[in-house]
Structure 1
Amino acid sequence: MKIHQLKAFVAVADSHSFNEAARLLFVSQPAVAKAIRELEIWAGRQLVIRSSRGTQLTPDGVSLLRRARGILDQVARAEHEFAGSGPHEHVNLGLTTSASVAVTPTLVDFKKRNPDTGWTVLGGSRRPLFEKLYNHTLDLVIATLPDNLEEMGTGLRFEPLLRLPTVLTVAKGDPLEKARSLADLTQAEWLFAESEQSFDHHFRGAFAEAGVDRLPSFTRCESTFLVLALAARPNTVTMWTGLAPSAMKLQLKVLGENISSLALKEKLPDITVCIVYRSDLIMTPAIQRLLDQMRRLKDRDTLDLGPDAPMLSVG
């Protein structure tokens, strides 16, 4: 097995085409075909099927693909860390909008303590970020706990960090400030960072308790800056983690707006913030330091998530 063979294999798997793989790798199509043939000889089995409908992986090819991505990821990491004058550590992190406010101060502190550690931070919703975990594009993802772990696939570990109350806010001075039940908020515009399924899972029971059998419509917004700009609009309800309103006061003040938390009679489900990583993740010193610092968040859990909270594995 050679690196150029794995690169050709991954390129073919991603593009479903030998010609396109050759274009992406800046080599000839026969060179790609030769690399795949040599890899299949090494593996002792067929990895790729070519047909008029395109190129597909065999079950053995699918099994090898994940390992190939991991090997190429580690090669690229080594090339990056040892480029120039010496080793340079790097962490690739994914961060969902809902979890970002709860962990941003810790991440800023980590960067302050580790100025020589490079990092890439990608935002977005859970599923695309988890796909990047599988593809070895990301090392870690910090996200709210999924409604159904099995839907996220196999091979991931979910380690709870914080369990926080759900907080709903409206613009200060808005008539919605007087709301004391979710039933008073059905005509408002809701801002939510997760999917429709998550909104349904998170709020259906609470709305049923309030005597409402139909959930309000909501605007899904994954941009923290846009949420900040929209949260103080009239007739708008925004969902945050328990830390968010206080953490965002400065930004809201800069925007010339303000928000007010609602005190409702219904019990809203708590939000669990997790750190997620592959079961086969290679723990570099930088990744281990970040994990250790994130785990210290358990000490400030507002809902008593103890330091020995279990780690959940899928697959």
Structure 2
Amino acid sequence: MKNHQLRALVAIADAGSVRGAARALGLSPSAITQALKDLEDRVNAPLIVRASSGATLTECGNTLLPHARLIVSQVERAHGALNEMRGEPCGKLSLAITPWIALCFLPEIFIQFRKLMPNVQLEMFEGLMSIAYPRLRDGSVEVFVGQQAPDTVNTEFNFRPLLSCGLTVVARRGHPLAQSRSLADLMDADWLVCLDSDMECRLSKKMFYRNGLPEPRNVHYMHSLMVAASVLQRTDAVSIFPWPLAELCVTRFKFCAFPLREELEDTSIGIVSRLGHPQSAAANCLIDILLETIRDSDNTGSVEAKRVLQSTERLF
């Protein structure tokens, strides 16, 4: 199997069509078709099914896809490492970053990174665990600034702790249950929650069980802060946010935090990467900027950044 063939498969999976893959890679559709045919001949199995609406992967194609992503990303990083040795950092750095870090610190990080790494393209994903960890595994994300996933870090990932914070329940300002003092008062509400990376051990379930309550009946799942914010602003749904994110959303989205008497579990934010995979110079540069930005925000940051950091405990 050759790298250009695997790149074609990955591009088709991402674009949903041969033409879309060709546009993404800057090649002709015939070149993509030929690369895919050669790959199918090599593995002796069909990898995509074409239809008028586009292309979908077969069972064999889906089995090969995560391996293809990993190989393609490792080849790109190998080229990047050689360019670094020549003093020419370039290529692409893909990262996922938890929403409250992104809202509070990412603009300054972006500005400083672009000054130091002008030839490196950034690809940034919303850092929810259900998005970040699968991408870390398949190599399409090099660094995740976000929450530690249970039972995975010691075996698959390296976790460098940055900040610890508590959790709180949030909803729109003026919510009819905004003065509730107990989780028991919220059992009948619509809950918006994030699934964690293994899609089994849900935060909401653990939170309620720990306080002797069953999981609420009306639980809905989200994979985007903006989706959650839009629903929370216009409905009586509630959600679970880390305190720093709640601090930001109180002013930006007119949310309120519920004064619950239960103590909700703390969560840690850190830098997550795959074990056994050296980080690129671009990744190390971005991490250094992140650490410096957080340190400086204690004294010289915006009022908003200082307020957010007051709800955290620094771990570095």
| Gapped regions of structure 1 (runs ≥ 5) | 38-47, 253-257, 308-315
Partner amino acid for 2:124? V
Percent identical among aligned pairs is: 16
Task: Quote the residue 1:187 is aligned against.
Answer: 188
SS at match of 1:286: helix
SS at match of 1:176: coil
Task: Quote the residue 1:283 is aligned against.
Answer: 279
SS at match of 2:283: helix
**Partners of 1:143 and 1:202 in 2: CA distance:** 15
Task: Quote the residue 2:135 is aligned against.
Answer: 132
Task: Quote the residue 2:151 is aligned against.
Answer: 148
Deviations 1:42-83 (A, max 9, x none): xxxxxx6536999969xxx999968743442136658999xx
Q: Which has the larger radius of gyration?
A: 1
Judged with a 3 Å threshold, the aligned counterparts in structure 2 of structure 1 residues 77 and 146 are, in CA distance, closer, same or farther, namely same
Task: Quote the residue 1:294 is aligned against.
Answer: 290
Task: Quote the residue 2:265 is aligned against.
Answer: 269
Judged with a 3 Å threshold, the aligned counterparts in structure 2 of structure 1 residues 90 and 208 are, in CA distance, closer, same or farther, namely closer
Judged with a 3 Å threshold, the aligned counterparts in structure 2 of structure 1 residues 200 and 179 are, in CA distance, closer, same or farther, namely farther
From 89, 93, 96, the equivalent of 1:94 is 96
Deviations 1:191-225 (A, max 9, x none): 22335977954233542454422434222222322
Deviating more after overlay: 262-271 vs 229-238: 229-238
Partner amino acid for 2:122? W
SS at match of 1:113: helix
8 Å contact from structure 2 (residues 195, 202) kept in 1? no
SS at match of 1:175: coil
For 1:114-129, list aligned pairs within 5 A: 114-116=113-115, 117=117, 118-123=121-126, 125-129=128-132
Q: 1:131, CA displacement in angstroms?
A: 3.0
Q: 1:251, CA displacement in angstroms?
A: 2.7
Task: Quote the residue 2:239 is aligned against.
Answer: 238
Partner amino acid for 1:240? F
RMSD over aligned Cα, in angstroms?
A: 4.4
**Partners of 1:64 and 1:238 in 2: CA distance:** 36
Task: Quote the residue 1:8 is aligned against.
Answer: 5
Judged with a 3 Å threshold, the aligned counterparts in structure 2 of structure 1 residues 181 and 87 are, in CA distance, closer, same or farther, namely closer
Task: Quote the residue 2:103 is aligned against.
Answer: 104
- Under a length normalisation based on structure 1, what TM-score does the superposition of the two structures give? 0.67
- Under a length normalisation based on structure 2, what TM-score does the superposition of the two structures give? 0.67
Q: How many residues matched?
A: 273
Q: 1:263, CA displacement in angstroms?
A: 1.4
| Gapped regions of structure 2 (runs ≥ 5) | 22-27, 48-57, 299-308
